[in-house]
Structure 1
Amino acid sequence: MSLDTRVAVAIRGVRAATEVPVSRRGGAGPSDDGHLRLGGRGAALPIDPTSPYLVRDGRLLRSAGCGDGAGSAGATEELWVDTGLTAEAVSRPRFYDLTTADGVRYDQLARLHGTDVLATTVVQTCIRYAEDQRCRFCSIEESLRAGATTAVKRPEQLAEVAEAAVRLDGVRQVVMTTGTSNGRDRGARHVARCVRAVKEAVPGLPVQVQVEPPEDLGALAELRDAGADSLGIHVESLDDDVRRRWMPGKATVSLDRYREAWAEGVRLFGRNQVSTYLILGLGEDPDELVAGAAELAAMGVYPFVVPFRPISGTLAEDVDGARPPAPEVLADVTARVAADLRARGMLSTDQKAGCAACGACSALQAAGA
């Protein structure tokens, strides 16, 4: 798969001739997507009926006259060109049909992401969700209000779901994230309890945990001791002006504090087992984002570069100039970050679990990182 094609579908999305049964709507981000296998790899892509790309009969087709990342669709009669890539929707997992003994649907507790990742938000509320504090790309509490999930997932519930997801659907890793709590651990200790329960139910199943930098960094050791294999501490941008504009609550946590938490994470989990999101399209200078990604990689932190795409239920429309990056900008940034990661020997395939290991939301794997 060429980087240009992977970037084009990340921004322009795809049409689908048939249903895409596994999808993500709302939540903590980064996007509303359908989950597909593209060229044999997991890909989380916008499903857009105006896209110049079409998934049909197991292939990815491109509208004739549309180059990668350019052009438009909408003609009454369209001609389609085969891109050379296989493409198919990820099947609805069987564990979605089950419920716990106390009547909670499994899909309210955890969801399939990509092709083989079980993802859960263990606490679906956040102290930073007041309108003046909320991250403008996040809708973590909207899915709770819609009844699609539960406020707090209990460890024994997640253990039950994980066992079924592995047994029935071949899940190979777990991602646990959480809304930020008031405690000094910022919610990490409940995540640790959930990790321990899942590891007892399915020994050897890799788990990534995602938390805000805790005030008490000892909480990171508790996550490792519970059995977590890798760690995500997501900053989204290294530009303080961007942070204040897009995530006013999280921006009160200094970048120095993030660096302390990343360093402690690398000490505990190892080089290339700690990652952070960097969102391209929030207004940060692309060259500065690439330089920041290199700084992170030098620390042993994998910079997971993803494009901004507004999702339902967020406040993104309140930010001036909020729009996805141009495909050529995303391709350039992705290629440069990937080249630096390859030179350092930091590959997503060496991550034990997590967003970078999955890779479905980023074009970095298509760029060789």
Structure 2
Amino acid sequence: MRWCELKAGLLEAGTAKITGGTEGITSFSKAGPSSGEGGSVFFSSGNMRVRLSITDDSPVEIVITDRDNAVLKFEGEEVEGRVEPATLHCPRQAFITVSEGCIFRCRYCSVPTQEKKFKSPEEIDRMIEGVLPDIDCISLTSGVIGSPEEDEERVIEVVTRVMRFGLPVGVSIYPLKETPKKLFDLGVLEVKFNLEAATEKLFQEICPEMERDQIMDALIESVRLFGKNRVFTNIILGAGESDSEMRACISEVTALGIIPVIRPLTPKAEMSEKAGYSRPARERILNITEFLDDELLKNGLDTGVAETMCTACTGCDLVPGRDF
């Protein structure tokens, strides 16, 4: 089985049970739909990587044979590899959440229910110092505490501070009109502003307090400033969109020079399994990603250029140009 087919099945499952212990290998997310879960692991085989939440009743099993070796077992397939340590949130990155908590209440996300707190530039500086030289980049994300203006200011302070490390910096926050220019002027390499849903109608249903047009304007301005292959946007697969709507969205953003990160839905918060939602099927994940691959090629975009954030990690998504 090709890795992309296997990974699509793993992303549909979303979980793994671990044999051999998880000490020192478990990652805990502070942002996004996976926040607040009971931990996850990153399994890699060669240059390929997948992130799976830990649970005892998963159809996927990862057998840790020793510190540097593991075997992933799924549907009769056995893949040799290793479980990578998550340096800060994910392997080889200091991927740090500045503000934990959020004033917005997107229906797929449990972050708004968590305790609201934020890290100071000094604290983040110390966190990064503590993982050198085991990182290749610094990635910053944030919920919104107080107001978008306040949170932008916090992130700007952090960016200003961490530039001293001389590493590529990527930033993913809720953007205001001047956010792209401010980040560009500070020397940020890549940005990711998330459209979340494939259509405006669906966006209004699941993120009613945010402005999709504002996010799109920031993405378009970012392509002008940062250039192709440096601007990204998360789009959730399985939030209620049709395949044709997802394809239309992919075609629209790639034509603008934006690389979409197609993120399989993690059913939780108001969009849980009890509410009738589920992770997208492997066939859909694979088919939509193959369409994305064609659109990236058509528009001269290359995921292999990415140096920070989700597209550089690949753990949570099937990424054309990296997974196949």
Greater mean alpha carbon deviation, residues 224-233 or residues 40-49 = 40-49
Alignment correspondent of 2:283: 328
Deviation at 1:308, TM superposition (A): 0.4
Does residue 138 of structure 2 align to residue 174 of structure 1?
yes
Deviation at 1:175, TM superposition (A): 1.6
Greater mean alpha carbon deviation, residues 353-362 or residues 38-47 = 38-47
Deviations 1:186-226 (A, max 9, x none): 622221110111111x12x1111112131xx2232111222
Gapped regions of structure 1 (runs ≥ 5): 65-80, 94-110, 129-133, 146-150
Deviation at 1:26, TM superposition (A): 5.9
Does residue 143 of structure 2 align to residue 137 of structure 1?
no
Q: TM-score, normalised by structure 2?
A: 0.87
Alignment correspondent of 1:120: 96
Please list every run of at least 4 consecutive aligned residues from structure 1 whose deviation after the TM superposition is greater than 6 angstroms.
Answer: none
**C-alpha contact (below 8 Å) 2:272/2:278 kept by paired residues:** no
List aligned pairs for 1:1-369, cutoff 5 A: 1-12=2-13, 13-20=15-22, 21-25=25-29, 27-30=31-34, 32=37, 34-40=40-46, 41-56=48-63, 57=65, 58-64=70-76, 81-82=77-78, 85-91=79-85, 93=87, 111-113=88-90, 115-128=91-104, 134-144=105-115, 151-167=117-133, 170-181=134-145, 183=147, 185=149, 187-200=151-164, 202-203=165-166, 205-214=167-176, 217-250=177-210, 253=211, 255-311=212-268, 314-317=269-272, 320-365=275-320
Deviations 1:112-157 (A, max 9, x none): 31x11212221223222xxxxx112222245536xxxxx1211122
The alignment partner of 1:324 has SS state of: coil
The alignment partner of 1:161 has SS state of: helix
Q: TM-score, normalised by structure 1?
A: 0.77
Deviation at 1:7, TM superposition (A): 0.7
Cα gap change, 1:87 to 1:287, in 2 (>3 Å): farther
Deviation at 1:43, TM superposition (A): 1.8
Percentage of matched positions with identical amino acids = 23
Cα gap change, 1:173 to 1:367, in 2 (>3 Å): closer
Deviation at 1:262, TM superposition (A): 0.8
Cα gap change, 1:197 to 1:341, in 2 (>3 Å): same
Return the alpha-carbon distance in structure 2 between the equivalents of residues 328 and 349 of structure 1.
24
**C-alpha contact (below 8 Å) 1:35/1:89 kept by paired residues:** yes
Higher gyration radius (CA): 1
Return the alpha-carbon distance in structure 1 between the equivalents of residues 86 and 221 of structure 2.
38
Gapped regions of structure 2 (runs ≥ 5): none
Alignment correspondent of 1:107: none
**C-alpha contact (below 8 Å) 2:103/2:147 kept by paired residues:** no
**C-alpha contact (below 8 Å) 2:290/2:320 kept by paired residues:** no
Deviation at 1:30, TM superposition (A): 4.4
Return the alpha-carbon distance in structure 1 between the equivalents of residues 321 and 60 of structure 2.
18
**C-alpha contact (below 8 Å) 1:211/1:232 kept by paired residues:** yes
Deviations 1:236-261 (A, max 9, x none): 113233223322222xx1x3322211
What is the RMSD computed on CA atoms of the aligned residues?
2.4
Cα gap change, 1:160 to 1:340, in 2 (>3 Å): same
Deviation at 1:319, TM superposition (A): 8.3
Deviation at 1:28, TM superposition (A): 2.3
Return the alpha-carbon distance in structure 2 between the equivalents of residues 177 and 26 of structure 1.
10
Please state which structure has a larger fraction of its residues in strand: 2
The alignment partner of 2:111 has SS state of: coil
**C-alpha contact (below 8 Å) 2:60/2:73 kept by paired residues:** yes
Deviation at 1:25, TM superposition (A): 4.8
**C-alpha contact (below 8 Å) 2:101/2:114 kept by paired residues:** no
Code of the aligned partner of 2:222: G
**C-alpha contact (below 8 Å) 2:257/2:299 kept by paired residues:** no
